Each structure stands twice: as C-alpha cells, then as structure tokens.
Amino acid sequence: MTADVAIIGQGYVGLPLAKEATAVGLKVLGYDVSQRVVDGLNAGKSHVDDLSDQDIATMIEGGFRATTDPSELGQAKTIVICVPTPLSEDGGPDLGPVNSAVAAIAENLRPGMLIILESTTYPGTTDEVVRPVLEAGGLKAGEDFFLAFSPERIDPGNEKYGAKNTPKVVGGHTPVDTEKAAEFYGQFVDTVVRTKGTREAETAKLLENTYRHINIALVNEMARFCHDLDIDLWDVIEAAKTKPFGFQAFYPGPGVGGHCIPIDPNYLSYNVRAKLGYPFRFVELAQEINATMPAYVVQRAQNLLNETSKALKGSTVLLLGVTYKPNIADQRESPAVPLAQQLIAKGAEVQFHDPRVEEWFGVADAAQKIGDADLERAISEADITILVQKHREYDIDALAGLSQAFLDTSGKAQDGDKVERL
C-alpha cells in the first residue's frame, strides 16, 4: 500500500494527527516502535485520552493502519516525526528518539518525499541534526526532497481546540519546503501559519511554553506571599481578569506537569547556555519556583494538621487526582509524584484516588489506592485530603464537607472551617 503520510510516533501527538489526516481521505500509516501500541490500534483500541475506540475504528475504515516495520516508511509521500524528546541528564533534550526516527527515514528516503519534524526541541535541530543525516545518501533538502519543522500544539483534554482547529505553524529549510509543508497540513488543518524558516518555527513553540511557564511561576510565587498576607489570590485573579486588555489569567497549583511546561523551556535555556555562554535567567528562575511547589503544598498541609494538634508524621493524607492536569489519564511529569514522595519522606501514610488512573507510576508501592466505592469513607477517615487535580468526576464541595481537613490546590472549593485554598 502506498501511504499519503506515515506518522512516526502514535501517542498524544501523532494519533490525533493521524485521525485528522484520515478524515479527509488520506491513506495514513502509523509507525510506532511499541508492538503493544500497534497491535492495539490495529485492533481498534485507543490508548490516548482524546480518541475513543470508535475514533480508531473509523480511522481503520478510512484506510489507517499501524506498523512496527520501518521499511514501510518508504511507501509514504510524506513522513511526520512525532516522537518524544525528554530531558537528558545534562538538562538538554534527549534526541535519541528523533535520531532513531531520522535514521529509519534515511534508509527509506526517496526523491520527492516531504519530511516534517514535529517533536519539540531546541532551535537548529532540523537543520543541524536532521538534515545532515537525510542528506548523507546524496539527496539534497529543498531540491530532491523537502524538509520542514512544524511544532506540535496538542493540548490533551482540551475540548475546544484540537489538531484541526489549532493553527499550524510551519517553517521549511527553504521557502519551497515551507510551501510543501503548508500544502500538506492545509488539507486537514483550518489555519496554517508560515515562518521564515525552521529555526523560527522551532523557537515559536518554545516561546509559547516559556510564556506559560514564567506566568505560572509568577502566580505560584504570589500564592505564597498572598497567603502570608491574608490575601485571597483567587479573588485577586478574578478581579484582575475583568480587564479586557493587557492581562491573561494564570492560576497557582501544586506544580507543573505534562511534557511541555516543565520540559520545553529548558530546551531554550540549554541552547542559550550551550551556544551563547550565558543563562536564560527568567526560565531558570521560573523552573526553580515551579519545582518547589510540591514542597510548598506539603508545608501547607503540615500547617493545617498543626492547627488540629496533629503531626504530619503518622497522619493519613489522601490525594485526589494524580494526573498532570484535570480530566485526562496522562501522568507525565505529574507534580503529584514529588508531592507524594515528600509526604512519605516525612512519615505520612499516603493514599490516593483518581477515577482515570488504574496504576499510579512512580509511587505505586508506597501509596494505597482508594477505589470509588471507598472514597467517601477514606475522605472521612483521612487526617487531611489534598485536591491535586479537579477532575470533573469530583463534587469538590461535597467531598470537602466529608473531610477532616481539605487543602484545595485548584481554588474551586468554597471557603469553610475545614477548607483552605492554596
């Protein structure tokens, strides 16, 4: 089968992209190194929050197929790389998955192919890392094949914006490459935004997430001193956001999670230090502030227990919602993990409940899972309950009313004798 597009990586980015491409009649090949993922997809089973089993079945009916065979990449007219780029030990991006994907493409590269990198990374990756490997066989980017970068902008769990209606930024190795990529995405994305080149497209994604990272750090720091000054920050934000210009509301929380906010700004900081020799101080300070929020939540919980003459050591602490954001099952970089680890280190007995999590990775052996049927009893018996993520399944005020003490990191609970908001 000749594929219109092969998408490398069938996770939270690649699979929604495959869905939209299939919906307009493109023949899509989904490539992944995980046999489990591929077998599940070919059996019509989804493993990401935003797609149902029915979505996968519809995709298969439209010609979608998944494979672990890299030789099949040679059948595709366009190849899109959607693999993860975690942080390495030195704080830079781990390009191992990207390098593996590019090597597989290089072995199957044909004249006329369009290659697009979507994986978030530092500026220059497309031109300095991807292009030399692809050109090693003699074909030239912009002449024999086409090369572009288009940052992924998937927001898991977002019910308003998805792959189709989120504007797609594209930047090519040459203007011709840019137009080829824009033409490809224009088939199934409502709006395509062109940049001058690959570096501008790479940096645009980092700017977006650095902006969020820094502003989240700002309100997280304000949460601390507003609490000490007896100022209701949540009320402050509600008042400030009534201004119709010049302000965007950000909210404090137990820490940042997911693949983007805690990781992507570090790519930019790493690149600035490596290439220019000086720090990106805004990013590094924001990282420092956001990384300390789990410890701050522990401190606030300890203070609440002290008010009832209880020590944190030996107390039962129930965590509600352990994913990295509400209404999804994704646990990547969830701040609930360091929160639980620090509670356990201080001698607390940690329990957790999450309607979307079967197994909590990272602290599964040290935290007791509470089932749905036992939730109300567990809340009433726990010395303190901490709402980490406000899943829609939670009636926050009802749960707070059952608790002995309730620390709400979401700011949604009504004030009360037993309730304290972050």
- Catalytic sites, residue numbers: 260
- Find out whether 332 and 258 touch, Cβ atoms under 8 Å: yes
- Find out whether 253 and 335 touch, Cβ atoms under 8 Å: yes
> Beta strand pairing status for 76-81 and 3-8?
parallel
Q: Six-digit token pair at 24? A: 């307009």
Q: Six-digit token pair at 13? A: 């980015």
Q: Six-digit token pair at 147? A: 């090369």
Which of helix, strand or coil describes residue 342? helix
Strand partners, 29: 6, 65
Q: Six-digit token pair at 113? A: 């192919």
Q: Enumerate residues 6+ apart whose C-beta is below 8 A from 231.
A: none
Q: How big is the CA angle at 84 (ends 79 and 88), to the nearest 5 degrees?
A: 135
Q: Six-digit token pair at 332? A: 């990547």
Q: Six-digit token pair at 342? A: 């620090």
CA distances from residue 76 to 57, 134, 172, 238, 276 in whole angstroms, order as listed: 22, 15, 19, 50, 39
> Which residue carries 């420092």 as its tokens?
288
Q: How many residues does the chain have?
A: 422
**Rounded Cα distance, 289 and 291, in Å:** 5
Q: What percent helix, strand, coil does the chain show, rounded to 5?
A: 40, 15, 45
Strand runs labelled E in 242-345: 316-320
For residue 388, give the nearest of 348, 344, 358, 355 by alpha carbon: 355
Strand partners, 350: 317
